[in-house]
Every structure is written in C-alpha cells, then in structure tokens.
Amino acid sequence: MDSKLRVGIIFGGRSGEHEVSLRSAESIINALDRDKYEVVPIAITKAGKWLASSEATNLLPSAVMINADQHVAIFGDPTEKGLARIGGEKVSGQRDKLDVIFPVLHGTYGEDGTIQGLLEMADVPYVGCGVLGSAAGMDKVVMKRLFREAGLPIVEFTHFLRSQWEADPLLVELRVAEELGFPYFVKPANLGSSVGISKATDAKSLNAAIALAAKYDRKIIVERGVDAREIEVSVLGNDEPIASLPGEIVPQSAEFYDYEAKYISADAARLVIPAELSDAQTAEIQQLAISAFQAIDGSGLGRVDFFLEKETGKLLLNEINTMPGFTSISMYPKLWEASGLGYSQLIDRLIELAFERHREKSRNVTSFG
C-alpha cells in the first residue's frame, strides 16, 4: 500500500504576481521529499484555466504551463473530493485523490481568500491562512485598520478609490499631500511582491504613481515615507504561532525592496540574517509579528514586515504577507533556515499545520437537526 501523501501544488493564477508564483512553486516542487509525497502540479493560466499533466511531477512550473494539456477542476462539493478531469464538455466521473493542497498563489484570486473559500467548500486540507486571514492580509487598508484596532504601531496612511481619482484627480492628490506630506509610497491595496508600487516625491511623480497603482486595483493606499531599516520576521503556526529570527533587507540599488530585488536579481538587495538588533529589539519585533498574525486570524504561515526608523529607533508595523515568496532567495524560508528549520523541513511543517487546522475545524458542529 502506498503511504505517500498526494500533495496538490497549485500555482500561476489570474494575478499580477503570476510569474512570482511560478518561481515559488518551482522551488517547493523541487524540495518536496519524494519518499513522503507524490506531487501533483496544478497550473492556473492567466486566463484562469486549470491544467495538469501526467508528466508534470518532474517538470519545472514553467514547463508545466507549456506542456500541461489536461483541463482539470476542483469542485466545491465535499462529496466530490479530488481533482476532476475535463475533456471537451464532459467531466470525468473519476477523481484524482488529493490529501492536501499547497496553494502557492500570490495576489488576487489566490492569496485573497478566494481559492481558500473553494477549498473550504471542498473540505480539503490546505496550507496557509483561511478565508478571513487571507482576505484581511491581502487588503492593506483592512489589514492596517485591524492592526490599529489591536493597538499595534503602524505607518501613517490614507486611501481612496480609483473611481474617485479618475473623477477628480487634483482633489485626491491635494488631500493626500495635506494628510501625509512628501515623500510617500503609493500601492495597490490588494497586491503584493512590490508590483505596482512606486515612490512619490512631488506632485508630478504622485500622479504617475497613482496611475500605475490604479492599473492593478480599484483601491489605492498611500503611506508616509519613512527613513528606516526594513526588518522582516517569519511566523509559523496556527493557534500558537512562533516567530523566526528577524532579518534585514538592505537594497543595493533601488530605493526600496522592489520586484526585481525579491525575485530576479540576487545582487539587487543584501539580506542580513539575523538582523543586527539588540536582544530587546529582537524580542519586541517577534512579539509584534505574532500579534499582527493573530490580529488577522492568521494560520499556517505569514511574513511580517517592519520599519525601524533610523532617527528615532521607533518600530513600525508595515504589513503581513500570508503567502510570501518561497523561492531560493526569498526571505521567509531563509529566516527559518537561520532559526534552525531547513527548507524541506519547513514544507513538512506547513503540511502538518494544514492537517492540524483541518482537524480542528472538523470538530465544529454543522448540523442542528
């Protein structure tokens, strides 16, 4: 009898972070212990089509995207568990069993609670935060409001809708300038990996920054620029999460830790692990990271990003990422490696946490008859 767990790795997706997902999934697929797991790669194209291939296990995600020719789907019906194969207009009655799913999806339709909702309906264990934690962690405005409600120190921010800016750009830009003052960072509220983010130092660059962010989301957030060190902490767990040693991002060329530095160029930023901090600072950052994770009802994993102001030494919570980058140069796994948990062992633990959370939720009474 085959005792291997069948792990569905979902990647790609309808998101501005599609390519980031491919890079993360490639690293995870290569690291999964084949003695423990049978890997089932599941690609989602930019158009939203779900694909799989009988030969996908040993292929890189980029190759899966090219060669996968089998249309598949997961149904939100707990009595129809597994991966359904679709041929033409027909759905096969056979289901490919999946014990657990690792949705390595960044950004919209993957990190925002949507696919988590599907997997909850299907009653399949999955890695990462649930519907609420994912949705709250995706929307930077909602996230920061939750942090503020929890009494956590945050960067000053304001936000507005794309439609408001399109109706009266001057009014919106004047309000932003009055509330925050230059410089500031303009971001899509519901995207990550630094996609669509830019720094504004004057009225002209503010207009261009908003135009860029508005391409990716209907909600735009603007944060006060701070002269600070960028500190990051990895969080792991469910009801009793733990925090890794903090690390520091030191951009070598760009003004901030942008997409290229995170996923393409190993020389665009220097990662200092562990960060050079006092014991007291380390303890404070770790506790704040756990508090931030709990404020959004996080589970599984999250990476919490901080600013440590250079002039005042004040610690400010920036944001949380509920499905952080998982490539070989990504901060999340590197921080756990420095804390004594290797890459493959980290994946094992995340899968264990997925089953743990599923068992806990299965205890809930759902019938009152």
Do 274 and 289 lie in one domain? The reply is yes
Do 16 and 80 lie in one domain? The reply is yes
Residue range(s) defining the domain that contains residue 32: 5-126
Using pLDDT thresholds of 50, 70 and 90, give the confidence band for residue 31. Answer: very high
In the predicted structure, residue 27 carries a pLDDT above the cut 60 = yes
Of the residues 209, 224, 239, the one at which a domain ends: 224
- Mean pLDDT, residues 174-198 taken together: 85
Do 141 and 205 lie in one domain? The reply is no
- Closest by alpha carbon to 62, among 96, 32, 26? 26
Do 149 and 277 lie in one domain? The reply is yes
Do 212 and 337 lie in one domain? The reply is no
Judged on CB neighbours under 10 Å (0-12, 13-18, 19+), 205 is middle
Query: What is the token pair recorded at 272?
Result: 């200092």
Do 26 and 64 lie in one domain? The reply is yes
Do 17 and 120 lie in one domain? The reply is yes
The CATH number that applies at residue 69 is: 3.40.50.20
Q: Is residue 259 part of a domain?
A: yes
| pLDDT tens-place string over residues 53-101 | 653 443 344 554 444 557 788 888 888 777 877 665 555 556 678 999 9
Using pLDDT thresholds of 50, 70 and 90, give the confidence band for residue 51. Answer: confident
| pLDDT tens-place string over residues 102-148 | 999 988 899 999 999 999 999 999 999 999 999 999 999 999 999 99
Q: Is residue 249 part of a domain?
A: yes
Cα–Cα distance measured from residue 168 to residue 164, given in angstroms and rounded to the nearest whole number? 6
- Closest by alpha carbon to 286, among 322, 232, 333? 232
Number of domains in the chain: 3
71 and 38 Cβ atoms separated by less than 8 Å: no
Do 260 and 301 lie in one domain? The reply is yes
Do 168 and 231 lie in one domain? The reply is no
In the predicted structure, residue 248 carries a pLDDT above the cut 90 = yes
Instruction: Give the E-state strand segments of 17-155 in sequence order.
Output: 37-44, 50-52, 70-73, 83-87, 90-96, 100-104
The CATH number that applies at residue 212 is: 3.30.1490.20
Do 168 and 282 lie in one domain? The reply is no
The pLDDT of residue 67: 46
Of the residues 224, 243, 270, the one at which a domain ends: 224
Which range has highest mean pLDDT (23-27, 194-198, 258-262, 274-278)?
A: 274-278
